Amino acid sequence: MMWGIRLLRLFLPLALGAGALGGVPALVVPAGAAVQPCEVAYAVPGGAIRAEPDAGKNHSLLWLVAKVDDARVVTDIDITADFTHPDVSQLSLHLLTPQTQGLSPTIQAFNTGMATGRAQGAYTFDEDSGARPLSGANPAPGTYGTATPEKILEGYPATGTWNLWLSNYGSAAGIVSSMTLTLTYATCDSDGDGVEEKADNCPLVANADQVNRDADALGDACDLDIDGDGLGNSTDGCARTAAATETGCPAVGRTASLRYAKATKKLTAVVRSDMPSCRADAKVTLFRSKPGKDTKLVVGTTTSKGRWTRKAPKVAGRYYVKVASSYATGEAECGRARSKKERVPRARTALRALLVDTDGDGLDDTRDGCPTVAASTSTGCPSASRSVSLKWLAGKQRLQVQVGSPVAGCAQRARIALFRVRPNRDYKVFGGSVSFSGRLRIKVARGATYYVTVPTSYASGVAECGAAESRKVLAPRG
């Protein structure tokens, strides 16, 4: 028997439910389609099992007939008899098919003497079930093998008359409630989509196009995960596009830019992406770049074209925008983005328009600490690095501090702080300035560990000097 097809016919309706589930329709047959079930049951009304034999015979015969108008080839035959009789050993059941000539060949579902005692209920006879033929005392209803092989009458067209003969060789009467002849066909099309069942990737859902996006065993019309990304259609934000994301929609990148328009004194942010929905309604946050921690100023939303415009802040400085990641429902997971920094210059008054900015760094010469050297610092002077070292001078019994820098003005007279290392919290033991050579010797308590720090400072007209910290040094006990 075609057990695989039977299981599929059972499973799909349960999986799909009475209606649509997760975008997958229930069984739909196109108008005018020729539905050809794989398995057809032909029910035949029953009748009485007479006790008295027929005239001139040693048995009575209950003759039931099923008319079949289907030219397809039969691959399996099952017989179900729902009957009651006190002595089944006196009964036999034979099936004569359209291929039977006279009385041969026939299929014997069971014969006299195979079982004994009372039989009551529905008995199915199926050679392919693997069950034993009817036997034993008072056999229970269920599925049994046949007494003779079914195969001899399979492999032929079904069209014609099928005869079911129940013979009673005993003296007791009984009753047949019904007989059912179940035929399985070699070719079928349960959903009527024109695709033969064995090749149909949705046997119970009409899909003549056989579209199968994820190339699995099921077509899109009946696949509970159409795109094959592991998310069911009902929870997949983009059920027809495979994506390894939480929403099931593809991750789409985007970029951001920020421009200052001098003529209008406005800042314009532009969000770009290949996905239009990742450009529109994007959340944009404006920041001002500052030493330490940048300042968050305002949050806005882009237009359908990905643009966001606002009046520039009055405070000069460097600004940038951030775009938070977001989900465009049913389309994409839009990535985050950050623009480059854009400089907003100081507002020019009538007086300032007359002032000169020799180095062009945005600070006029009257306020520029280094008017001939361009620098993007608050003083207008370039940044300079510094280093500081600390060592123990055994001969002098002192700690020696040495500050160094490529810019002499950052080493001369630099302010320093000496700290003593303690288990819980270090504490400052000395503060002062080094000499013009950048050196200083300090007498300290012995048997402790020390280090030196140099804070940032401004060497007027020269540079903005950076901070530095020495390594830790032990002043040994005397």
Report strand pairing: 119-125 vs 142-144: parallel
Same domain, 47 and 148: yes
Q: Are residues 319 and 261 in the same domain?
A: yes
- CB count within 10 Å of CB 146 equals 24
Within a domain: 458: yes
On whether residue 67 sits in a domain, the answer given is: yes
Residue 193 lies in a domain: no
Check residue 21 and give its pLDDT: 35
Q: What percent of the chain has pLDDT over 70?
A: 92
Residue 202 is assigned to a structural domain of this protein: no
Co-location of 316 and 390 in the same domain:
no
Lateral strand order in the sheet of 160-168: 60-68, 160-168, 91-96, 107-110
Is residue 366 assigned to a domain?
Answer: no
- C-alpha span between 210 and 220 (Å, rounded): 8
The model carries a pTM of 0.50
Check whether residue 60 and residue 164 sit in a common domain: yes
Domain at 156, CATH number: 2.60.120.260
Domain match, 175 and 304 both: no
pLDDT digits (tens, 9 = 90+) for 53-66: 999 999 999 999 99
214-236: pLDDT as tens digits: 889 898 899 898 888 888 888 88
What's the pLDDT score for residue 31? 53
Domain that holds residue 466: 383-475
Tell whether 131 is covered by a domain.
yes
Q: Where are the beta strands (DSSP E) in 191-302?
A: 251-252, 255-261, 266-272, 283-288, 295-301
Together in a domain, 265 and 387? no
pLDDT for residue 352: 52
**Are 180 and 77 in a shared domain?**
yes
Q: Which of 314, 344, 374 is the last residue of a domain?
A: 344
What is the spatial distance between Cα 103 and Cα 99, in angstroms, rounded to a whole number? Answer: 10
Same domain, 70 and 140: yes
Q: Which of 318, 344, 370 is the last residue of a domain?
A: 344
Q: Is 178 in contact with 193 (CB distance < 8 Å)?
A: no
Residues 157 and 263 reside in one and the same domain? no
Q: Which residues of the chain have pLDDT under 70?
A: 1-33, 348-354
- Predicted confidence (pLDDT) per residue in 246-266, tens digit: 888 999 999 999 999 999 999
Residues 337, 412, single domain; the answer is no
The CATH number of the domain holding residue 299 is 2.60.40.10
Give the max Cα distance, the chain: 144
Segment 291-325, tens digit of pLDDT: 888 999 999 999 999 999 999 998 999 999 999 99
Does any domain span residue 350? no
CB 448 within 8 A of CB 469: no
Q: Is residue 169 part of a domain?
A: yes
> Tell me, what's the pLDDT at 300?
94
Q: Are strands 337-338 and 398-404 parallel, antiparallel or unpaired?
A: unpaired
Question: Angle at CA 345, nearest 5°, toward 341 and 351?
Answer: 175
Q: How many domains does the chain have?
A: 3
Residues 135 and 262 both lie in one domain: no
Same domain, 393 and 335: no
Final residue of a domain: which of 185, 220, 239? 185
